[in-house]
Amino acid sequence: MSAKYGNKSIAPVDTVVIEQPQKLSRGRFAVVALIVAALLAAVIVAAGLRMDALDAMMLQVEEGALEQEALPADAPYLVFYRVGRALAIGVLAVFAIYAIIRIIDPKRRRPNRSVWGDIGVYLLLAIVAVAMVFPLVFSVAASLKPLDELFRFPPRVFPQHVTLDNYSDLFVTLSQSWVPFSRYLVNTVLITFVGTAGHLVVASMAAFVLAKYDFPGGRLFFSIVVTALMFSGYVTGIPNYIIMSRLKMIDTHWAVILPAFAAPIGLFLMKQFMEGIPTALIEAAHIDGAGEFRIFWTIIMPVVKPAWLTMIIFSVQNLWNANAATVIYSESKKTLVYALQQIQAGGVARQGQAAAVTVIIMLVPIAIFIASQNQILETMASSGLKD
């Protein structure tokens, strides 16, 4: 085929078509990925089983129940099983991330990086996630171990013989106390509920005034609140005790509830979030004839819902884990955490129950956080915005 450009003719050019290699479809790639993952998992399981068998034999040799000559020929190469298993786990993790990216293929604006860049990012996130979730997994796994596995060295993450005896023994121990288990639970729920509700009311009202109204001493008061964030409960324990003693509230639940009303973290969080609300919204409500309380309750509080949900989580976590042994002396008024900690201090025989106690104590804060984690992320993302 020839073409003309003005009075000149252009020689024909042969069109070369380069055939691109066909890519595997998602279905076929998923099958291949599943096969590869199964092979790697088989290698990991086989290496783990062989390691367990060799460890058991070497333990018998140390105890004198087995002769050194009776060890299999691959016993000196136990370290290679460990290295190979670790490498197989690493390869499986990288391949799993690559397969997920390839199969899902999210419809998003791709940054200027390759697939291997995505793998690196996801692998880093996976490592951070594992580091964060490991204490939780280890605690739950420890509560399901029998006593002989709890004291095994080197320790294993997952139990070989899963048992619920730790939880059953814990409830038996609690049922034998002269104060019923339900009394400890009711005390803790009462302190947590009333303390959180009061903290929410006091902190939100004070934050609304500090964020949207100028008055003499407002900045000084907020500076005091910010300074109070630096002091932990151990520092303020003695002043709180003196104040509660003067108010004749020692050995009552109010000795724990009232200090929770004045926790500075809630006021700081609510004030910073409320500063992002446009002032024009409040002025428009004033023009429509709304009063201060109506503006606060029907306009401000719904807008700052993520902030007060986050504050509720912090307050529940602090009050649920409160020991309160320094201000409450009567056994019938003590908290659930105090009773569980007494079980933890029971010595070696109660280490299984202590592991179960750890899981029970952290269940409530974790459940509340999971239920409202989206609100927490929204609070952290928008608390620094200004109008």
Give the largest CA-CA distance in the chain. 112
Any idea how long the chain is? 387
**Long-range pairs, 216-223, Cβ under 8 A, ≥24:** 222/271
pLDDT at residue 198, as a whole number: 92
In sequence order, the β-bridge partners of residue 4 are 9
Instruction: Compute the distance between CA of residue 254 and CA of residue 60 in angstroms, rounded to an integer.
Output: 59
User: Cβ distance 318 to 335 under 8 Å?
Assistant: no
Instruction: Compute the distance between CA of residue 107 and CA of residue 117 in angstroms, rounded to an integer.
Output: 17
Q: Per residue in 209-243, pLDDT tens? A: 888 888 888 888 888 888 888 887 778 888 888 99
Residues of the chain with pLDDT under 70: 1-26, 77, 101-102, 104-115, 118, 346-347, 349, 372-387
31 phi/psi in degrees, rounded to 5: -65, -45
pLDDT at residue 232, as a whole number: 78
Domains of the chain are 26-162 (no CATH), 170-382 (1.10.3720.10)
pLDDT at residue 25, as a whole number: 66
pLDDT at residue 44, as a whole number: 82
